[in-house]
Structure 1
């Protein structure tokens, strides 16, 4: 080839008016491949040149020229696999961009597609965001004007003010309560619990209550035996009934119901003859004092009610080794106006619920445990008059207006024989549950609870006052409902059965609907024993309801001379609310009218 210019074999490249530097054959390294002169190498060099121009383009780069191959050091060419530095970028007399315009085929063949821009994606996202904001604002405007223009037949109780509260109170009349009370007392001698429940359901339905249901549970009850219990003095052989009257056929006939139901439900049954030991109120200090001077194993404890929970005191006596217990109420612990010396009473040793299904509801298919008694002690309630007969000689316990408590001297020995007879049976307990649906939060519940007489128990006429009060309350609310008023939350009216045996009705219902009540119950209003006097309103409330109760007390006490302060306590609330406050954690309040003298 010599020093002459190497001619390009591809004539098509010569027609494109492009000038390339000449490469001398003498400049090639020895042993250089002959294929460097072919057309593919020229095309590859052209492509590489164009890529370098695009990627390394900077201001003034158009004047970039590669050094001549003649000035390169050929001595180092042996270490290079392929030296393309001698190929210089092509230039056009008219400029690169002008050449692209003249030769469109060149541009389409050697150019790469430009990367896509993100401008389109940003515009789409911006449009979507604007559309969502406009729709959101439009929805708010529609909801606002729809709420303003939508008529409501019932007025929300959110605007319940003092005037509405006064109107509800004025609707509750004493004559209506007395009438309802008299009608309920007539059912006292009924032996069928269903009859009383149907009577309550009929009254509530006549008042307009919407939904009333009977909720029945088959539970284990401990009932009195065929004959009343008795206490016999071993020294004289005298036999006494629990009320202090001598054992006789005439006394049984005259007070048959009272004598039969003077017993402790779920007590052990049998006969025990032992020494009577006075343990006063039965606290830990009293027991320590007694055990130092006497042997208490399998003896009979004379125990006063009060100061501590009964079940706790019985557990201490059972642990100490006593075999029996005689319960009584000291007259000095009662109001001065009360004279209950010959009155007897019934107690339940059941902490709550059906003893055969502890912790779960007594529904069909539930496992039943055999628990005829809940303690090993023989427990018998007696009157204060019977306790006085156990103490000799008889003394006047009232001196100069000061009451002397009943006490059995420790240096005197009294041996008695106590006989306890009970029967355990499965019976049906009925709860009456009515619903007044709320307006804004119908799935949130305010529970108002009372209790009715269970035919198998003896609870006097207390249950009738409880049922009469809740019936009058329902009547007052339903009159407002007929005028278009509705409470914000649903109100659940409950009349519990089996209260005397350990709040069985409320326990079983609470266990049956435990999950719903824990989630949706707001408060429990207890009307367990609302009438205990006629002097002032006495209330016991959970801490979260203290402010509400204080406001209502101030309103009701404005017309009275004296008003007791609100007692904030959960432990002191007795009756059917026990399961709701202690097991479900529902805030509870209890109202009752008391005599101030009885509270002092």
Structure 2
């Protein structure tokens, strides 16, 4: 029946199949290609004879045409009658078989009418699972998964990126994937430049008024800090956000000549350092405030100095925009995101002592912290920061395994987890790596023995050097940039997913919202009988309660903002606070076991990730919701409209961007309509529609920004002068400092934003002749 339906669909379908000249060779999907007829102005063919005489040719040509039309009409009448009778017969047979299956106690979904049990003439194939059966199978398999043993093996050794131990761990991951029923397992190597501890430890020296010294020797360091020594006073600047620095600058506090003390959290280390550098601070000290984190039971509220990186970007900062394959030598360049000032982390106790030693003005009440700002110290003269990090060339590995899809193997979902860690890294990387292996094993077993037939491929990725800014993942993206945005449907990150047993939060592309929502409705919360979805909605839109912005540390971030691939990461936390021991030498399995039931939490993570993978590989139509971006763009237009009067006064208008937003909305609605009216058996047509959805994120990467100079080119979630955030910050100068507003720069920003949105709308509209653009 499927072959008959497919043949009729492709005969009358809107999208032609591939043509083979004078061939009726059966295609891979069972459809026949059509015969290509040669037409010429000076001759026509009828049977094996060519009519040379014009009059005779015309007469006989008409006879031939008449005969052909008669044959075609008779054929169509015969085919119509045959299909009506055939479908009626099959409907009766299907009812008989269904009744017989029920009588025999066999589930309806387990045996199809085209199965080998009916006839030997039908090609042999395993049972194809329906969606409900597939969900039940996934849930039953995750219920029996045990993760603790793998996590223990992964945390037994330290695995700093590029070290011998980390290379051994890559080999272990490769062997584990090779022992599964995957279609292929492979590695890729990258030669990168990392920054590591020098021979002498970094330290902070406090010069006291009585000419004595106190020395702080941290247990960790911040990669890609500038090396050197700086001395001066110490200023407290809360979390080091832009608004925190602005608050103090409005109080006429001068950062030049001083170091800055900030709390970790809310934004990345690199953003804190970038803001401090813009404020002309000499250096940065970062400490974890215990009240910002959640701790295991019966643990003291202290946190050792955490590891992090200060590169305002991702990937190897010494080959920005280029892949680092095969030790290839590129021009001597450095990322513009490398800081020019030294930075160091300290423990929570040392941070508290420094905060209490500050004098000067009282901290702003909005910070809700009882402290002084500095830069004076109560009983000390100054603070000296000495950073002695050194560069090291290292070889790192990414390890991959793939389950090839049955219909579209050249379209794939990527599921990934980082492998390296500074210290034990139980919650940071061992949990994600263990879940990655279990998912690969479980899904490959479902294909081999349970009838799971993913339409699209699934790539399992174990990343190297993620601690240094998603280096392994970013280098892979750089190496295959021109391919991945055409083939990768989405990226699902498993990193740091278990940080507690409370609140569930998600960072995701708006295209992924519907997948996230539908998956939440199916996965039970690990510590109750409720599902993830209703537990957190509580009468409001779930996107307003559990969606959090991507950070630079998130491996999913470069997938979305550099390569334009819809991405998602997620995590369980307690009281909406991150786990205190992430990125520290205290991230052990024992401490994590005192925080959560590891197997229970990992099962929920595995099932949620598995649900998303199944949805992306099972349905004919990709479940990516393009209408979500229409809402996001509307919010942007509303924010711009609030400045309408000021813009009009300067002769500027937001009409262009409003029109582009309207075109985007209409294109999204039109594409959804095409899907709703399409024949699900017309695979070429569905593929063309799916490809247009896949490219939405990529089309929102600004074509006016260089991936070398500005890698995060996404106009909404990226970083740089091309983004909507940068445009709004510039526009805010009309209210705060009008003299700094650059009219020509704003016009350029508005034009770049407008035409990027318009380009995304045109990309959704389809072929160039289908675009009715009245912009």
The number of residue pairs the alignment matches comes to 459
Report 1:149-298 matches (<5 A): 150-156=122-128, 159-161=130-132, 163-172=133-142, 176-188=146-158, 191-192=163-164, 193-235=166-208, 237-243=212-218, 259=219, 262-291=220-249, 292-298=251-257
1:125-180 deviations in whole A, cap 9, x for unaligned?
Answer: 334455677889999999x99999642424456x232x322322332357631111
* 2:354 paired with 1:390: yes
Report 1:574-593 matches (<5 A): 574-593=553-572
Aligned residue number for residue 100 of structure 1: none
1:413-469 deviations in whole A, cap 9, x for unaligned?
Answer: 351111111110111110000011111111110110111026xx4473221111111
Give 1:302's match in structure 2, choosing from 250, 257, 261. 261
Instruction: Answer whether contact 1:537 1:553 (CA < 8 A) is retained.
Output: no
The answer to which of 228-237 and 564-573 deviates more is: 564-573
Give 1:311's match in structure 2, choosing from 246, 265, 270. 270
Report 1:419-568 matches (<5 A): 419-453=386-420, 457-458=422-423, 460-461=425-426, 462-483=428-449, 484-535=451-502, 537-557=504-524, 559-560=528-529, 563-565=535-537, 566=542, 567-568=546-547
- TM-score relative to the length of structure 2: 0.54
Q: CA deviation at 1:334?
A: 2.4
- Which structure is larger by alpha-carbon Rg, 1 or 2? 1
The answer to which of 471-480 and 424-433 deviates more is: 471-480
Structure-2 separation of matches of 1:393 and 1:573:
32
- TM-score relative to the length of structure 1: 0.68
Aligned residue number for residue 629 of structure 2: none
1:70-115 deviations in whole A, cap 9, x for unaligned?
Answer: xxxxxxxxxxxxxxxxxxxxxxxxxxxxxxxxxxxxxxxxxxxx98
Q: CA deviation at 1:392?
A: 4.1
Structure-2 separation of matches of 1:538 and 1:288:
29
Aligned residue number for residue 357 of structure 1: 319
Aligned residue number for residue 308 of structure 2: 347
Q: CA deviation at 1:223?
A: 0.8
Structure-1 separation of matches of 2:126 and 2:233:
69
Structure-1 separation of matches of 2:482 and 2:566:
16
Instruction: Answer whether contact 2:155 2:424 (CA < 8 A) is retained.
Output: no
Structure-2 separation of matches of 1:470 and 1:314:
33
Larger relative strand fraction:
1
Question: What is the SS of the residue equivalent to 2:499?
Answer: coil
Give 1:320's match in structure 2, choosing from 271, 279, 289. 279
Give 1:121's match in structure 2, choosing from 55, 61, 65. 61
Aligned residue number for residue 571 of structure 1: 550
Structure-1 separation of matches of 2:548 and 2:77:
49
Gaps of 5+ in 1: 1-113, 244-258, 395-402
1:531-570 deviations in whole A, cap 9, x for unaligned?
Answer: 1123465433322222222122122237535723453466
Aligned residue number for residue 398 of structure 1: none
Structure-2 separation of matches of 1:210 and 1:134:
48
| Structure 1 vs Structure 2 CA RMSD | 3.6
Aligned residue number for residue 16 of structure 1: none
Structure-2 separation of matches of 1:596 and 1:174:
28
Structure-1 separation of matches of 2:148 and 2:375:
53
Q: CA deviation at 1:574?
A: 4.9
Structure-2 separation of matches of 1:174 and 1:198:
27
Question: What is the SS of the residue equivalent to 1:225?
Answer: coil
- 1:132 and 1:340, CA in 2 relative to 1: closer, same or farther beyond 3 A? farther
Gaps of 5+ in 2: 1-53, 91-112, 116-120, 359-366, 580-775
The answer to which of 586-595 and 469-478 deviates more is: 586-595
Aligned residue number for residue 86 of structure 1: none
